[in-house]
Structure formats: structure tokens, C-alpha cells
Amino acid sequence: MAAAAEEAAGSGGGGSPSSARRRLRIISGHLRGSPRAPEREALSSNPCKAQGGSAGPASGSIPKKRQELLKWNGWGYNDSKFIFNKKGQAEFTGKRYRLGGMILPTFKEWIEKTFGASLEHKTTSRASLNINDVPPSIVNEAFLQDLRDTKISYSQDAEDRVFRAHGHCLHEIFILREGMFKRIPDIVIWPVCHEDVVKIVELACKHNLCIIPFGGGTSVSSALECPEEEKRTIVSLDTSQMNRILWIDEKNLTACVEAGIVGQDLEKQLAESGFCTGHEPDSMEFSSLGGWVATRASGMKKNIYGNIEDLVIHIKMVTPRGIVEKNCQVPRMSTGPDIHHFIMGSEGTLGVVTEVTIKIRPVPEYQKYGSVVFPNFERGVACLREVAKQRCAPASIRLVDNAQFQFGHALKPQVASIFTSFLDGLKKFYITKFKGFDPNILCVATLLFEGDREKVLQHEKQVYDIATKFGGLAAGEDNGQRGYMLTFVIAYLRDLGLDYYVIGESFETSVPWDRVLDLCRNVKERIVRECKEKGVQFAPLCTCRVTQTYDAGACVYFYFAFNYRGISDPIHVYEQIERAAREEILANGGSLSHHHGD
């Protein structure tokens, strides 16, 4: 591949048949991987070592045995969840999050009013995994013997296999609460480096096995589900032990990182050297770098740092046909289609991403939160459009509609002092009575600024000046910070809802600016109509926020939930309604997905 690329580099932009053939040969070489088999074999025998000589995995936040720390049939950590305590008050358990141990005094009233739910009507989910319900592992002995010879760690344990049989789609979690999957991986294998993955893929080809790459397990596109009809052995290739930073290049501000590292560990390790990626999807605690690449992910601070496609410099991927990678690590190439764009968004269907070289930046000197209240959603969207037009968006700017504002307010913890309560009341009086904002119509934007302190303060003033032109009022740092804090706990709410006959899910789209308002309104109205037609007895919650802004459009993120009491097959009903909502999105000029994948 390298020789062919060098030959093509001298051909310039000419259109001769010979140069065209050379370019096609380069491209096909990328897709096939290197044809030089001896090099591949030599690569397979290389030791797994990072910069500094370290071999084997780093100590990560998520253990190899995920069941030691994470829920088997719900989101997140075992010790973190929303509950209703003995007094009937909502609270969030554990000490991992700022909300941990706090009482949420208005949440019970909100959930009863919004969904018609009652603490007296509670569902019963399975308390623990019954290994007798787990489908047996079917692996041929010849493959197992070859695998043992590689000295690569593996497991056929029922718990290990179930933990890697699913992502976090609603129907997957519902199945785990009510029953069991009919087909799950037969074996889990833990490579510790790129060379291990090469060996595993070669063995899979030799023995005609299926491989499903597994990163952080946060998929919401059914990419980890095993087809019921698949008769071949299914391997879950768990990349979690490939979690090292191989090198950091401080001159070019790049880092080569193994694909199995999860977001929180990547940021921690980079911070030790004074750097960050700035890529923070809502799932960053658990999702992996390889998963971000495979799903073409987006982070909440993309306005400064970019989406994953903007951060990636180089990808190494192992396929059944060889190793796919570019022959250099440069910011841009023009010789044919970019192979990275074949890989990003492929969701594990083409191969296993093993190493990624990404852009890094110095950890920002200063960070400041903020928030703005608008009299209505229309004014808020107009403000975000103007901010995008002037290209002065902060690291993150997110506009929530009124329903989501009320939702967030219901999650507000009990205040610690009378003085704080008095101040909150004073702010509410000022906004609703003095300024005349209707609390049932107003909406809120949360802001996050990062960078040099002086520039952040200048930037902050520019954004607030724009907001003022659209009727916005500064609502303080606390509201902004709380909004971002909720980002990491909101996913835990679905498990609580399922305990009380409420099912919910999120979906997102990207849409041109001139279609944002119509799309938001029409999708919500369509969901309400579909719920009535499908026999949902209680009004649904349908809310949205504008989470990402671009020159030509925005990402809109929807939450949708309803009380399913009286419905015999709630998942089927939910999927019908969601399908209708997505049809409405397409009819209104939106995309099927902005960052969750297909």
C-alpha cells in the first residue's frame, strides 16, 4: 500500500488512464488490507506493548467482569438508581454523582400527574439472573483448542455472555426484566492488543464463526443482538482490555489510543499529561472510543472540539480480508474516497476497530456554566440560529422545551436552607410576575463555556447579548451546571419508570434550521395521535431539546414515554409509535439519526 501511495503522489491531479488505475489500486488496497501475508503474520507475533514498555491492559474504571460493578438488566452502576423511599419520596442512591443521596421532593407528584402513574401499581422484574434460563454455549472443540494456544483470555460463563448479548434499547432491557434472549453469544473473548484481534479474526475465518465487536455496551441500535436463526458459533469480541494510550505526540497534538478505552478513562489518562479530547457523549462513562468511531458519535461539546469524524486522524481496523488503515497520519488526503468514512458508522459490520489516533488539546484553563430563560421555544430556537449564524456558539448550548423544563424542575433536589429557597422563589417571581413569562410556555437554554478565562468572559457576553435580543434573561450558573449534571443521571430514570408501568426512550434527528419548529411540533402531535389510536390510556410525555447547532441546521433530541397499564404488548405498541414518529421526522425534512446510528 505504501509503495502504491508514493507512486500516486507524484501523479498530481492528472486524469490519465494510468493514474486512474493507480488510484483505484490504492483504494482497493485500503479495502482489502495489505496483500503481503508475511507482514501480517509477522505483525501477529509482535508483543502487545504501549509507549514505555507496558504490556497488557491498563487499570480501567469498568472491570473485565462487568457484573461486579454494573446492572445486568438496567443502566449503569449497581449502587446508583432512582427509588421511592419508605416515605414515598424520590431519591437517587449512591455517591458517584452529585445527585447521590438527595431527596427530590416534587418528582413523585410530577410522575403521577404526567403519566397517571401510582406507587401502588408496581411491576415485578426479575431480581437476579437465572443461569438456567440462559441458552447453552455452542462452540466447536477445534476452535477452542486453537484459541487456547493463543493464550488469549475467554469465557463461556452464562453471566459473561448475557452481559454482552445486548445494548440499551428499550426492547432489550424489557426482555431482560421479563424473560431471556433466545440467542446470545456462545463465547466472550478478551484481546489485550491489536495483534490479539488479528489472531481472533483469523481463527474465526478458519472455523467459520461470527464475531460481534463489543466496546462499552451502550448501543441503542440493536447492534449487539444475536440473530435467533444464526447456527454458527457467535463470538463476543470484548475490547475492554484494549484500554491503553499507546503514545502522545505533544508537537502534533495527537494521541494513539486502543479502541476499548471508555470515555471517562480516556479523559483521566490524558489529563495526567495535561490534555483532553473534549469528546463527551452522554454515555462517556461507559462507551468506548471504538464504539464512538463505529457509531459516528457526537459529544455535547462538539462546538469547540468537533464530532468524532473531526477528531479522528487515523483508524486501524481488522477485517476478514486483512488490516485496513491509511499509510500515513496526516490531517487530510485527496487520493480517492476517505476509508475512514466507510468505517465510521459501520457499527461493527466491516471489522474490529483496534487503534485510533485522535486530536487532543490542552485541558482548558477556565470553564463556566450559564443558562438563559426565553419566553417561548420559538424565541429560543431563533436565538440559537443567530448564535450559529455568528459562529459564536459556546462549547455546548442546549435548548429544552417547556415540558423538558418541567421535567428537569421535578428532578431538583431538596434545598438545604431557607435562604436558598427564598432566593429560588425570588427568581421565579421575577421571571414569571415581573417579566411576565408564562411558566407553562417558557423554555431554557443551558450553556457551557471553555477556554482562556478572558476569552471565555468575552464570549459569554457576546452570547448573552444575542440572547437579550430574543427576549432571553440570564438565569444563572447554577441552573446551567445542574442541567449538565442531569445529563449523566437521566438514563437511570427509565429503570424507575419500568417499575411503575412507564416505558420511555429517546431518539434524535438532524434537520435544517427552517424546519426545526415544524418538525418539533409535528412529531409531538403525531406521537399524541398515535398513542390514542393504539389504545394508550394516558397522555404521553413527548418533549424535545435542540442539542447541537451547525451552520445549516441543528440536532433535535426527543424523549417519549407513556403509561402502558392495560396494554398487553407494550413494546410492540411503543415500536409502532416510534416508527410513526420517525416517518414524521423524514416527512418534515429530518434525518433518521444524528448520532445514535441505525
pLDDT in tens, 217-246: 999 999 999 999 999 999 999 999 999 999
Mean of the pLDDT values across residues 250-259? Answer: 98
Q: What percent of the chain has pLDDT over 70?
A: 87
For residues 190 and 150, the answer to whether their CB atoms sit within 8 Å is no
For 560, the grid coordinates are 417519549
Confidence of residue 29 (pLDDT cuts 50, 70, 90): very low
Tell me the residue ranges of DSSP E strands in 271-378: 275-276, 312-319, 322-324, 352-359, 361-362, 366-374
175-179, 186-190, 467-471: least confidently modelled range: 175-179
**pLDDT value, residue 127:** 85
Question: Residue 3's pLDDT is what?
Answer: 34
pLDDT at 4: 32
Q: What is the pLDDT of residues 86-113, one digit of tens each?
A: 999 999 999 999 999 999 999 999 999 9
pLDDT for the residue numbered 397? 97
Statement: residue 209 has pLDDT above 90 = yes
Please identify which residue in the block is written with the cell numbers 454523582: 97
Judged by average pLDDT, the poorest of 21-35, 191-205, 237-251 is 21-35
Determine the average pLDDT of the residues in 72-95: 96
- The pLDDT-based confidence of 313 (bands split at 50, 70, 90) is very high
Whether pLDDT at 55 is above 80: no
Q: What does the pLDDT average to over 150-159?
A: 98
Q: Which residues contact 302 (CB under 8 A, 6 or more apart)?
A: 279, 310, 548
Taking 60 as the threshold, does the pLDDT of residue 406 lie above it? Answer: yes
Residues designated catalytic: 557
Residue 515 CB burial class (10 angstroms; 0-12, 13-18, ≥19) = middle
The single residue listed with the C-alpha cell 497520519 is 329
Mean pLDDT rounded to a whole number for the chain: 89
Alpha-carbon gap, residue 258 to 277, rounded angstroms: 14
Strands 103-104 and 187-190: unpaired
pLDDT score for 447:
97
Distance CA 2, CA 26 (A): 9
What pLDDT is attached to residue 483? 86
Crossing angle of helices 516-533/377-389, nearest 10°?
140
Q: What is the pLDDT of residue 418?
A: 47
Comparing CA positions, the residue from 409, 404, 413 lying closest to residue 91 is: 413
Task: Please give the average per-residue pLDDT across 135-157, as a whole number.
Answer: 97
- Strand 322-324 to 396-400 pairing: unpaired
Backbone angles phi, psi at 94, to 5 degrees: 85, 175
pLDDT of residue 479: 85
pLDDT at 197 over 60: yes
28 or 397: which carries more pLDDT confidence? Answer: 397
The amino acid sitting at 379 is R
Q: What is the pLDDT of residue 422?
A: 40
Q: Please give the model's pTM, rounded to 2 decimal places.
A: 0.89
pLDDT in tens, 286-308: 999 999 999 999 999 999 999 99
